[in-house]
Amino acid sequence: MLAKRIIPCLDVKDGRVVKGIQYRNFKDAGDPVEQAAEYDRQGADELVFLDITASLDNRDTMLDVVNRTAEQVFIPLTVGGGIRTIDDIRNTLKAGADKISIMTSGILTPDLINEGAERFGSQCIVVAVDAMRVPRPERDDSNLGLAPDEEIEWRVWTHGGTRETEVDALQWAIEAQQRGAGELLVTSMNADGTKAGYDIELLRRISESVGVPVIASGGAGTIGHMYEALADGKCDAVLAASIFHFKETTVGQVKQELAVRGITVRR
């Protein structure tokens, strides 16, 4: 049976791992290659590097990190952040990434998803959806017996969570799959960095609407939160950063507890 995946995420800025709260207030969290190797030893199923370096000049620093990691870690490696063109995708794959995560560019130039999937295969195109929960605008039918969860919706944000768009996250997830995304990485911006739990409603709605795997992101504070994302959010994988970086728990401990609760994990 296919195992649910546990994926540590490393936000990398100028070649160093950092961790911020709701995309701000970054703290240094170590060397990416060392950390990748440590997570591999702990039994991580995959790794994600998100390059949050602001300037384009430092792209090569990131490619070097990817290259050195891929030489010693033999699990799938996803790299995202600042991927704008087919050449960016090609260079990142060449450096040793297995998958590319596309976020802002997916919204600005959605054809990049189609073209990337055609050239390199859907299996290496992950579309990241950064979603912000908003109250649904007042409408005439708002009191006509809608379930409480239908009174909210989610908007896509871009540029590392700094710019709001009018795009509906659920619609965008479906479109991204149609365009060729092989997986969706869904981050709740409200929850990210809070350690208060994933946005289960967001995850469940997206997971039930698409036929490709969904990776839950944003808000993991406990192993129980991960369980909820997999069991109730119907996700295929969970991604977490701070819970692992600051050594509150290990991947091994997460897997052990999830297994006790009946989730299939690789051990």
- Which residues have C-beta within 8 Å of that of residue 260, sequence separation ≥ 6? none
Q: Is 94 helix (H, G, I), strand (E, B) or coil?
A: helix
Residue 262, interface with another protein (CB under 8 A)? no
Is residue 141 annotated as part of the catalytic site, yes or no? no
Residue 15, interface with another protein (CB under 8 A)? no
- Parallel/antiparallel/unpaired status of strands 99-102 and 183-188: unpaired
- Which residues have C-beta within 8 Å of that of residue 259, sequence separation ≥ 6? 265, 267
| Sole window of 14-22, 132-140, 211-219, 254-262 interacting with another protein (rule: CB under 8 A) | 211-219
Residue in 45, 130, 199, 236 annotated catalytic = 130
Residues 131-160 that bind another protein (CB under 8 A): none
| Sole window of 115-123, 132-140, 164-172, 188-196 interacting with another protein (rule: CB under 8 A) | 115-123
Helices and strands, number each (H, E), in the chain:
10, 12
Residue 266, interface with another protein (CB under 8 A)? yes
Q: Is 179 helix (H, G, I), strand (E, B) or coil?
A: helix
Residue 237, interface with another protein (CB under 8 A)? yes
Report the alpha-carbon distance of residue 113 to residue 102 in Å, rounded.
8
Distances (CA, A) of 61 to 13, 33, 51, 89, 157: 9, 12, 10, 16, 26
| Sole window of 56-64, 134-142, 157-165, 209-217 interacting with another protein (rule: CB under 8 A) | 209-217
Report the alpha-carbon distance of residue 7 to residue 46 in Å, rounded.
5
Whichever of 76 and 110 has its CB closer to another protein, that residue is: 76
- Parallel/antiparallel/unpaired status of strands 125-135 and 99-102: parallel
Residue 56, interface with another protein (CB under 8 A)? no
Is 36 within 8 Å of 69 (Cβ atoms)?
yes
Is residue 130 annotated as part of the catalytic site, yes or no? yes
From residue 156 to residue 195, the character string flagging contacts with another protein as x (rule: CB under 8 A) and all else as - is --------------------------xx------------
Whichever of 19 and 99 has its CB closer to another protein, that residue is: 99
Residue 74, interface with another protein (CB under 8 A)? yes
Residue 38, interface with another protein (CB under 8 A)? no
Residue 76, interface with another protein (CB under 8 A)? yes
Q: Which of 45, 127, 24 is nearest to 83 (CA)?
A: 127
The C-alpha angle with vertex 36 and arms to 31 and 40, in degrees rounded to 5, equals 150
Whichever of 11 and 45 has its CB closer to another protein, that residue is: 45
Residue 258, Cβ density class (10 Å: 0-12 exposed, 13-18 middle, ≥19 buried): buried
Residue 252, interface with another protein (CB under 8 A)? no
Site size toward another protein (CB under 8 A) is 31
Residue 45, interface with another protein (CB under 8 A)? yes
Q: Which residues are catalytic?
A: 11, 130
Binding site for another protein (CB under 8 A): 1-5, 40, 45, 70-72, 74-76, 93-96, 98, 120-124, 182-183, 211-213, 236-237, 266
